[in-house]
């Protein structure tokens, strides 16, 4: 893992600050609140295949549907099951909303530093949920189709870093332990939000905040960077 020597802690222990040149966000649980929707869809999925309640995946967020399904069904059924669930996820979007502070933060980021999304969901599902939440779809959107190994493997965020092409440090925003590990193994500092997991489960992150209302982005410190501050 790359050394994170660019991190700075302010004198005030209630805040954390870093200079950055780009941001990569997870989607579900980080930018959009889809937990109730995803739970509904997974109960439907279990019913389709006659699976017991004990098969309900925990935790839901942080891993690709394919990775969950591989532990539930024979290999020859996985591809069709993933496609079937993805189709449901892309159309059943009632109840998907933006996480508090998401729209404001994305407005602040736009035009200041490059940003993108790295999600365990498919492209179709990601764009549908962003639209339902009233959030923009970025030019850099890494989805389940783009990777061979999902989170917690670093591949998703390594692809995101390559596509983002930022000139300096990139901060990752996550809500799940698997995503935090993926971002850190890709060499990025990680800000975690407690929207789907308790703070104790997110201890590997550099800083943990309740939601995105705790984040502020100031005017660029240089032409290619900005300063991000998180209130703990």
| Strand pairing report for 140-142 and 115-118 | parallel
For the question of residue 67 being annotated catalytic, the response is no
Cα–Cα distance for residue pair 179/204, rounded to 1 Å: 10
Collapsing DSSP to helix, strand or coil, 28 comes out as strand
Q: Is the dihedral of CA 147, 61, 85, 92 positive or negative?
A: negative
Q: Of the listed 8, 26, 92, 224, which one is catalytic?
A: 26
Neighbours of 24 (CB within 10 A): 29
3-state DSSP percent of the chain in helix, strand and coil, to 5: 40, 20, 40
Catalytic residue among 8, 28, 33, 175: 28
Which residue's structure tokens are 């609140």? 33
E strand or H helix at 43: helix 35-48
Taking CA atoms, 1 is separated from 119, 216, 219, in Å, by 21, 27, 29
Q: In this structure, what is the dihedral angle of CA atoms 57, 30, 137, 144, given to the nearest 10 degrees?
A: -30
Annotated catalytic residue 80: no
Annotated catalytic residues are: 26, 28
């Amino acid at each position: 893992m790359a050394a994170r020597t660019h991190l700075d802690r302010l004198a005030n222990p209630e805040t954390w600050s870093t200079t950055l040149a780009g941001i990569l966000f997870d989607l579900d649980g980080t930018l959009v609140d889809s937990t109730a929707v995803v739970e509904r869809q997974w109960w439907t999925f279990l019913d389709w295949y006659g699976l017991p309640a004990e098969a309900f995946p925990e935790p839901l967020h942080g891993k690709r549907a394919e990775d969950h399904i591989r532990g539930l069904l024979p290999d020859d059924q996985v591809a069709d099951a993933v496609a079937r669930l993805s189709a449901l996820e892309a159309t059943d979007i009632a109840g998907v909303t933006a996480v508090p502070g998401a729209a404001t933060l994305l407005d602040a980021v736009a035009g200041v530093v490059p940003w993108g999304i790295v999600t365990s969901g498919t492209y179709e599902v990601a764009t549908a949920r962003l639209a339902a939440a009233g959030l923009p779809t970025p030019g850099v959107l890494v989805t389940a189709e783009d990777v061979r190994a999902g989170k917690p493997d670093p591949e998703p965020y390594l692809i995101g870093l390559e596509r983002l092409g930022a000139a300096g440090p990139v901060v990752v925003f996550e809500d799940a332990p698997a995503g935090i590990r993926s971002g850190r193994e890709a060499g990025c500092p990680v800000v975690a939000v407690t929207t789907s997991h308790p703070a104790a489960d997110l201890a590997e992150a550099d800083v943990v905040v309740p939601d995105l209302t705790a984040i502020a982005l100031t005017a660029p410190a240089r032409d290619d960077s900005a300063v991000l501050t998180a209130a703990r």
